[in-house]
Amino acid sequence: MSSISLQDWAPYRALSEAWGAGAPRLRASGLTGGARALVVRALLGGQERPTLVLASGLVEVQRWAGDLRFFGARVLELIPPPPRVWRGGRHRESEGEHALVCDRLLAGEPAIVVSTPAGLTSPLRSPDAFRARTFRLGVGDRLDRELLLEELAGAGYERVDTVAEVGDWSVRGGILDVFSPACPSPARIELFGDEIESIRLFDPTSQRSTTTLEEIRILPLAEGAGEANLLAYLPADAAVVLDDPGLLDAPPDDAPAAEPLGELLGDRRRLELVILGAVAGRAGEKAAPTSRGSSVPSTSSSPAGSRRERVYGWSPAIRPRPSACVGSCASTAGKRFRSRRSGARSRSA
């Protein structure tokens, strides 16, 4: 049996050519499930810059991230922090995750960032402030202890008796423990006078050392006084993929006073993944009958053209056989991915 690739399907070829030519607004209809991540991954495969995928909620963020990773993409997730009433004083895992995303974007990593509108507008330190508060500690360095403690406080770290969470630090005699988002576990820095003698990662439960390091990077916790948001960390030419174009029309439900997403994104290049029913509703058009008896809107009468948008549809109304292949191929891939994860959980259990 001969192999089939996305390039065998005319709608994808047309979409890929338009994307490669730099079209500012594109819409693709008829993609469902894992097919969305498959097409986005294929379009972005050769890009050397970050891309933003905006989903409507946390469940959709996890689905997108899992599907994109399955298709080989490098993915970063940025979700909005939980309300402070739930977080308490020291539950700052989300701040550490935000710091990691900011650090990797400032390093120029061409990752796909998956977030929500609320995550997009979460307050972050400005890139300049983030860089200024980032510092490294290496074996053999001489430290001004008081200055170091001031730097940790300025970076948003909290002094505690025992380090257990990201953003904690403690000092006992010549031993400094600190948990930076850049490390998978807390680091124990042993000083001989003012000189760093050793740096080791340790298990916060058993307190046993696990890994010896030559240096560590201390990243500032990313939440600031609302100086910036995620867009400040993305290049101006970074594309945006919208899981649902309806997100453009109104502020997030959890922030009704926020600026509408369409205004926030401005002229950034966009790929909008249109829900079929939404296309027909906006266009006010007569839907074309399909072989299954359902209705699929025709792309030729979409009003999106007035906004310099082009619509590419995966539907029997356009090309019967390939459209069915795209849907079934992506659905099969998604099922295989889910079955692998289920099998992994069963084996671990």
pLDDT tier at 107, thresholds 50, 70, 90: very high
Where are the alpha helices (H) located in the chain, listed in sequence order? Answer: 10-20, 34-44, 58-70, 84-87, 93-106, 117-120, 127-133, 145-154, 261-265, 276-283, 320-348
Structure confidence by residue, pLDDT tens digits, 17-47: 998 888 899 988 888 889 899 999 999 887 7
Q: Name the more confident of 213 and 314.
A: 213
> Domain check: are 139 and 69 in the same one?
no
- Quick check: is 3 in a domain? no
- Give mean pLDDT, residues 342-349: 47
Residue 224 confidence (pLDDT) above 80: no
* pLDDT at residue 243 is higher than 70: yes
Shared domain for 148 and 30, answered yes or no, is no
Q: In what order do the strands lie in the sheet with 75-78?
A: 75-78, 112-115, 51-54, 240-242, 270-274, 25-29, 309-313
pLDDT at 141 over 90: yes
Residue 328 in tokens: 């079934």
Specify if 10 maps to a domain: no
Q: What is the CATH number of the domain that holds 188?
A: 3.30.2060.10
Which residues contact residue 252 at a Cβ distance below 8 angstroms, ignoring those fewer than 6 apart?
116, 117, 118, 121, 258, 261
Residues 71 and 199 in one domain: no
Q: Within this chain, do residues 36 and 165 fall inside the same structural domain, yes or no? A: no
162-171 tens-digit pLDDT: 998 999 999 9
pLDDT at position 249 is 76
Please check whether residue 84 lies inside any domain of the structure: yes
Asked which of 218, 249, 284 is the last residue of a domain, the reply is: 218
**Among the listed residues 302, 296, 334, the one whose alpha carbon sits nearest the alpha carbon of residue 315:** 296
pLDDT score for 322: 33
Phi, psi of 92 (to 5 degrees): -120, 35
Look up the domain containing 204 and give its range: 135-218
Last residue of a domain, one of 197, 218, 239: 218
How much is the average pLDDT of 1-13? 77
Answer yes or no: do 153 and 98 share one domain.
Answer: no
pLDDT at position 2 is: 62
Is 58 in the same domain as 121? Answer: yes
Helix (H, G, I), strand (E, B) or coil at 212: strand
Residue 307's pLDDT is 43
> pTM for the whole thing?
0.75
Collapsing DSSP states into helix, strand and coil, what is residue 312? strand
For residue 193, tell me if it sits in a domain.
yes
CATH number of the domain bearing residue 266: 3.40.50.300
Do 81 and 169 lie in one domain? The reply is no
User: Does one domain contain both 52 and 118?
Assistant: yes
Residues 197, 237 share a domain: no
Does 288 have pLDDT greater than 80? no
pLDDT of residue 114: 96
DSSP 255: -
- The per-residue pLDDT for 9 is 84
Calculate what percentage of the chain has a pLDDT beyond 70: 71
Residues 99 and 239 in one domain: yes
> For residue range 58-104, what is the model confidence (pLDDT) as tens digits?
999 999 999 999 999 999 999 887 766 554 444 578 888 999 999 99
State the total domains in the chain.
2
Which of 179, 196, 218 is the endpoint of a domain?
218
Q: Is there a domain that residue 173 lies in?
A: yes
In a domain, 103, yes or no: yes
Give yes or no for a contact between 190 and 178, defined as CB atoms under 8 angstroms apart.
no
- Considering the domain architecture, whether residues 214 and 228 belong to the same structural domain is answered as no
- Residue 70 shares a structural domain with residue 156: no
Chain centre distance of CA 162: 32
Question: Is 198 within the bounds of a domain?
Answer: yes
Instruction: Determine the average pLDDT of the residues in 269-294.
Output: 51
pLDDT-derived band at 309, boundaries 50, 70, 90: low
Q: Output the six-digit token pair for 262.
A: 């369409």
- Residue 227 is encoded by which pair of tokens? 């100086």
pLDDT tens by residue, 182-209: 999 999 999 998 899 999 999 988 888 8
Beta bridge partners of 209: 202
- Residue 9 within any structural domain of the chain: no
Residues 6+ apart with CB under 8 A from 32: 327, 330, 331
Rg (C-alpha) for the chain, rounded Å, is 24
Q: In sequence order, what are the residues at sequence separation of 6 or more whose Cβ sits closer than 8 angstroms to the Cβ of residue 89?
A: none
Is the pLDDT at 143 greater than 60, yes or no?
yes
State the average pLDDT over residues 260-287. 67
Q: How far apart are CA 314 and CA 326, in angstroms?
A: 8
